[in-house]
Every structure is written in structure tokens, then in C-alpha cells.
Amino acid sequence: MPETPLPSPDLTLDTSGRLCPYPIVEIARAMKTLASGAVVCVVATDPGIVTDMPMWCRATRNQHLGTFREGAAFRSWVRKGIPA
């Protein structure tokens, strides 16, 4: 887990059991409905999220706050948009 506490998410997306690229497809869809600055937590069992989420955030100019393993699953925090 991270040393500094993460913000509580505005939305949690559970993609457990779904495989690459679905965790990314689902966050992309959800982001369209959220305001800039909103925080999303994606729960995934696909270990690919560890590399995918930072890359997706870079490609789409969102802020990757961190991806952490929690038992068999991973939790990935993303903030919509890049703070000025």
C-alpha cells in the first residue's frame, strides 16, 4: 500500500475477472461521465493493469495516482485530467 493516503474515490469500478483490455475500456468509458479532478479506483484481477494503467493515463493525459496489489487483485487510482 502507498505511504501517503489516497483520496477516497468518486467512483469504484470492479473489473475483476475481466481481462486485458477491458479494465482500460471500462475506465475510458467511465471517465467520459466524470468531471475534471474526479478520482476513480479500478479494481482488477488482470495483472496487466500494473503496466497498462500508467501508460493509459499518459496517453489520455490523466493522472495515475498509483496501482497496488491487494491479495489476488489490484487497485489502481486515477484522477481525471492533469492538475495545472
Partner 1 sequence: MSAPKAIAMISGGLDSTLALALVKRQGIEVKAVNFYTGLCITETQRRKGGRPDGTIPRNEALRAASDLEVEIEYVDVSDQGYLELIVNPRHGYGSNANPCVDCRIFMMRKAREIMEREGASFVFTGEVVGQRPKSQRRDTMRAVERESGLEGRLVRPLSALLLAPSIPEKEGILDRSRLLGISGRSRQPQIRLARELGIEDWPQPAGGCCYLTDEAFSRKFFDILDAREEAGEERRILREDLVLLSTGRHFRLSPRVKMIVGRSEGENGVLDAYAGGRARLLARDLNGPVALVEGTATWEERQLAARIVARYGKGKDLPEVAIDWIEDGVPETLLVPPETDEARIEAMRI
Residue ranges that bind partner 1, judged by CB under 8 A: 19-21, 24-25, 28, 46-48, 50-52, 54-56, 58-61
Least Å from the CB of residue 23 to partner 1: 11
Q: Which is nearer to partner 1, 3 or 32 (CB)?
A: 32
Compute the distance between CA of residue 81 and CA of residue 19 in angstroms, rounded to an integer. Answer: 25
- Which residues are the active-site residues? 20
Quote the least distance from Cβ 22 to partner 1, whole Å: 8
C-alpha cell at 13: 469500478
At 81, list the grid cell. 485530467
CB closer to partner 1 out of 7 and 21: 21
- What CA dihedral angle connects 44, 49, 55 and 56, to 10 degrees? -30
Q: Which is nearer to partner 1, 5 or 83 (CB)?
A: 83
Minimum gap (Å) between residue 80 Cβ and partner 1 = 14
Burial of 60 from C-beta contacts in 10 A (0-12 / 13-18 / 19+):
middle
